[in-house]
């Protein structure tokens, strides 16, 4: 049996925390155009499309913390057009936790989802 070199490590998903304190911030960060929903996370850490990430999301006064596994689907680099915030878009996984947080966000946003106000992504 071959030995695994000491330098070989299993890449673990990055863990980020995102507290959202107001409805306007949630609207600006939510990415409803992704199949399972997603959220923009401001960060200066370098990521690549497809990187796996683990996100702990808190929504306003909601006492629950939403642990979400997802993948990077969007990257806004530093110095992007229109002074957009630097960060990543996390596409929620299709599992129960992803479905639950997508449903909760859409409950909170309600009619605001149809708004044409600018967001962090589009």
What mean pLDDT is reported for the chain? 85
pLDDT digits (tens, 9 = 90+) for 9-36: 556 778 999 999 999 999 999 999 999 9
Q: Which residue has the tokens 């996100």?
A: 55
Reference 45, options 15, 87, 73; nearest CA is: 87
Q: Which residue has the tokens 């629950």?
A: 64
pLDDT of residue 84: 76
Predicted confidence (pLDDT) at residue 41 exceeds the cutoff of 90: yes
pLDDT of residue 81: 72
Q: What is the mean pLDDT of residues 104-112?
A: 89
Predicted confidence (pLDDT) at residue 105 exceeds the cutoff of 90: yes
Under a CB-based contact definition with an 8 Å cutoff, are residues 54 and 13 in contact? yes
Model-wide pTM > 0.85 = no
By the 10 Å C-beta count (0-12 exposed, 13-18 middle, 19+ buried), 122 is classed as exposed
**Which of 2-16, 81-95, 106-120 has the highest average model confidence (pLDDT)?**
81-95
């Amino acid at each position: 049996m071959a030995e695994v070199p000491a330098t070989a490590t299993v890449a673990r998903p990055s863990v980020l925390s995102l507290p959202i304190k107001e409805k306007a911030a949630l609207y600006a960060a939510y990415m409803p155009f992704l199949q399972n929903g997603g959220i923009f996370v401001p960060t200066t850490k370098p990521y690549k499309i497809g990187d796996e990430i683990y996100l702990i999301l808190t929504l306003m006064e909601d006492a629950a913390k939403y642990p979400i596994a997802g993948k990077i689907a969007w990257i806004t680099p530093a110095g992007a057009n229109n002074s957009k915030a630097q960060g990543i878009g996390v596409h929620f996984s299709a599992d129960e936790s992803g479905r639950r947080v997508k449903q909760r966000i859409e409950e909170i946003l309600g009619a605001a989802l149809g708004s044409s106000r600018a967001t962090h992504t589009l």
